[in-house]
Amino acid sequence: QKRIKIKDLLLSKEFGSEVNVKGWVRTKRGNKQINFVALNDGSTIQNLQIVVDVPNFNEDLLKKITTGAAISIDGEIMESQGSGQSVELKATHIDVLGVADPDKYPLQPKKHSLEFLREKAHLRFRTNTFSAVFRIRHAMAYAVHEFFNKKGFYYMHTPLITGSDAEGAGEMFRVSTLDPKNPPLNEDGSINYKEDFFGKETNLTVSGQLEGELGAMALGEIYTFGPTFRAENSNTTRHLAEFWMIEPEMAFYDITDNMDLAEEFLKYMIKYALDNCMDDLKFLSQRLQEEEKGKKAEDRSMELIEKLKFVLENDFVRLTYTEAIEILRNSKPNKKKKFQYLINEWGADLQSEHERYLVEKKFEKPVILIDYPKDIKAFYMKQNEDGKTVAAMDILFPGIGEIIGGSQREEDLDKLLTRMKEMNVPADEMDWYLDTRRFGSATHSGFGLGFERMMLFVTGMGNIRDVIPFPRAPKNAEF
């Protein structure tokens, strides 16, 4: 028999014809006469109902059909009598491909908590929630390439092992070929890390931006999409040590063009999810609503699909950092003292509670903040006329906080050099970067979208470790 995927079978109207399906058993129920097996093969959130006439099959074989087992069924496509699905499969032949001993298999037919599943991370793909999340992740990755390809951007691969610190924040994982038993030493006896990578000090990249700029200043418009690494020991629901970032970089774009592109891009991804992942989104939305059942109406979040549509249909709010500080200064601290919105000092970085106040309470929409104080932003950002701020932009999303960080880049060689000196960025090691400003410099801009933060928003999941297949975070690196 020819194998058919469950997703395609459920759309089939060829009642009476014989097909083969293969998949993993989710549940089995029934009696001495008839069994119903819910089978999933990963092609869709929906299970296929297999109808088994018990007397026609070997008793030992049927015993092996337990949650988690892999089976192959030849059967006849039937119109389903029950509610829910239109199609079921009446088994004519069953093979058990791989058993899953119910006394040992960690996943039960019942619902498991996300915490429990994080402990069993190697098996969590087999649950409805995680298979839905990872199907959506696949679709979102595809949407990224589709969006930029349609716009004529080139996909550029930037190095993962690099000698520079693109963000100048010092949050890097060292890459080393040194022999720990016999490292090269400096004169004072300390280890000479300059020898790290066959004679050069290297680290895992925190961002592909600087290399992306080289590409943009020749190819016009490029984007990167790859893993990036941050050695920050932050145990939060929004940070990973290894995350995927999308970084477009565009020649001849100013900060306004940059904002326009970012807003269009985010909306494109959301629309793509709504157009292509509705079954999975509905499942995740229902899951969320069940989770929130206990909560008071005012504490419940907006229904997932409504929330996605809302963001799609509304313009993002755009304002400057200075305007945001004014708003925060004039805000009243929350009575429950859950949040302290007040911020007094111009120049301080916004804390996540400030960001959430702006997007969730004040505007109830995504917000693009621009023109940040130069001292809290990276060296490469374009300095504004006021001498105090830079043409930075952060996009803040409800429930997430910062989802995008970007800027117009400083194109003037002298200004850039002065700033690098002030911020202790080693200009002498970055001639390759500075040549973009020495030869044929021009206005250019770009931004970085944290792919997993976008995944949090689209799936409604609450912890960033649940939207990447193999999270890397403190105490999370067993495979």
Q: Which two tokens stand for residue 224?
A: 């990167």
Q: Kindly state the DSSP code that residue 56 receives in the 8-state scheme.
A: G
CA 86 to chain centre: 34
Range in contact with ligand 4AD (rule: CB under 6 A) among 17-25, 53-61, 280-288, 448-456: 448-456
Residue 245 contacts which entry, ligand 4AD, Mg ion, none (Cβ below 5-8 A, type-dependent) = ligand 4AD
Residue 239 contacts ligand 4AD per CB under 6 A: yes
Structure tokens at 302: 């907006």
Is 453 among the residues that bind ligand 4AD (CB under 6 A)? yes
The single-letter code of the amino acid at 44 is: T
Shortest CB 290 distance to ligand 4AD, Å: 27
* Nearest residue (CB) to ligand 4AD, 41 versus 213: 213
Between 126 and 239, name the residue whose CB sits nearer to ligand 4AD: 239
**465 touches ligand 4AD by CB under 6 A:** no
201 and 184 in contact (C-beta within 8 Å)?
no
Pick the closer one to ligand 4AD by CB: 24 or 433.
Answer: 433
Whole-number Å distance between alpha carbons of 458 and 140: 9
Query: Do β-strands 87-98 and 202-204 pair in parallel, antiparallel, or remain unpaired?
Result: unpaired
Residue 240 interaction partner, one of Mg ion, ligand 4AD, none, beta carbon < 5-8 Å per kind: ligand 4AD
Query: Which tokens belong to 64?
Result: 């092996």
| C-beta of residue 244 within 8 angstroms of C-beta of residue 439 | no
171 binds, among ligand 4AD, Mg ion, none (CB under 5 to 8 A by kind): none
Rounded-to-integer distance, Cα 115 and Cα 226, Å: 27
**Who's near 251: CB < 8 A, 6+ residues apart?**
216, 217, 220, 221, 442, 443, 444
Residue 221 is a binding residue for ligand 4AD (CB under 6 A): no
- For ligand 4AD, give the closer residue by CB, 19 or 400: 400
For residue 304, what are its two tokens?
Answer: 């997932």
- Partner whose binding site includes residue 38, from Mg ion, ligand 4AD, none (CB under 5 to 8 Å by kind): none
**From the CB of 433, what's the least distance to ligand 4AD, in Å?**
13
How many of the chain's residues bind ligand 4AD (CB under 6 A)?
23
DSSP letter for 359, please.
I
Which residues of this protein are in contact with Mg ion, per CB under 5 A?
405
Per-residue exposure over 272-304, b if at least 16 CB sit within 10 Å of its own CB, e if not:
bbeebbeebbebbbebbeeeeeeeeeeeebbbb
**Residue 215 binding result from Mg ion, ligand 4AD, none, given CB thresholds of 5 to 8 Å by partner type:** none
Out of 41, 167, 221, 355, the only residue in the binding site for ligand 4AD (CB under 6 A) is 167
- Positions that interact with ligand 4AD (CB under 6 A): 166-167, 207, 209, 230, 232, 239-240, 243, 245, 247, 402-407, 446-448, 450, 452-453
